Structure 1
Amino acid sequence: MASTFMEKYKPHLMMFLTQIGYAIVYFFTEAAFSRGLNPHIYVAYRYCLAACLMFPFAYVLERKSRPELTFRLFLEFFLLSLIG
C-alpha cells in the first residue's frame, strides 16, 4: 500500500521539492545581490559551478556513445558556432 502511494505521488513530491530548491536559490541570490554582487559575475559563477558539477557525470556516462571527433565534425561545429 505504501509503495503504491509513493509511486503515485512521487512526481508531485519531486515538483514540490524542486520549487523549494528554487525558493532557496532565490533567497541566496537576493542576499548576494543586496551585498553588492555583480549580476554578470553571478552568472559566470553559476555556469562555472554547473560545468564543474556536470562534467564528471557527462564524461563517465557518455564516453562510450560519443562519436569520434573528426576534422569534418570539428569544422561543422566551428561553422555552426559562427552562425549562432
Structure 2
Amino acid sequence: MVSVAKPVLLMVVVQMVLAGANVFYKLAENDGMKLPILVAYRFVFSTAIMVPIALFVERKKRPKLTWMTLLQAFCCGLFGGSLAQNFYVKALSLTSATFVAATTNLFPATTFLLAVCFR
C-alpha cells in the first residue's frame, strides 16, 4: 500500500512546489524585481551546482567536446531553457499565477501536436 502511494505523494509535492514557485515569482515581480534577471540567477546557480557534479560523476565516460556539441548545447540552452523561461515569466507578469499554472498543463498536449505536425 505504501509503495503505491509514493508516486502519487511525490507528484502532489512536485505540483505544490511548482505552484509555490509561481506565487513567489509573482510576489517578486510585484515588489519590482525584473523577472528576466531572476531567470538569469536561476540558470547561474543551477550551472554552478550541476557542472561540478557532472564533471565528477561523468569524468571517466565523458565524450569528446567538439564544436558541434558546443553549438548544440548552446542552442538547447537558448531555446529549451532561456527562451521558454523568459516567456513563462513574461506571461506571469501579464496574468495571474493561477492562470500560468493552469496553462503549463497544456505543454504536453502542445508538444504532442507539434510532434505530429513536424514528423
TM-score past 0.5 threshold: yes
For 1:46, the equivalent position in structure 2 comes to: 42
Question: Partner of 2:69 in structure 1?
Answer: 77
TM-score (norm 1): 0.71
Question: Which letter maps to 1:75?
Answer: W
TM-superposed deviation, 1:77: 2.9
Partner of 1:23: 19
**Cα distance change of structure 1 residues 27 and 66 upon mapping to structure 2, 3 Å threshold:** same
Aligned CA-pair RMSD: 2.3
The runs of 5 or more residues in structure 1 that have no matched partner are: none
Candidates 50, 54, 62, aligned match of 1:66 = 62
Match of 2:4 among 4, 8, 21: 8
How many angstroms apart in 1 are the aligned matches of 2:70 and 2:26? 38
Larger radius of gyration: 1
| C-alpha distance after superposition, 1:16-62 (max 9, x if no partner) | 11011111211111111011111221111111111122223212221
Percentage of matched positions with identical amino acids: 32
The answer to which structure, 1 or 2, has the higher relative contact order (CA under 8 A, 6+ apart) is 2
Q: Which residue of structure 2 aligns with residue 32 of structure 1?
A: 28
Give the TM-score of the pair, scaled to structure 2.
0.53
* Residue number in structure 1 paired with 2:117: none
> Structure 2: how far apart are the matches of 1:49 and 1:75?
25
Q: Distance in 2 between matches of 1:57 and 1:41?
A: 25
Count of equivalent residues:
75
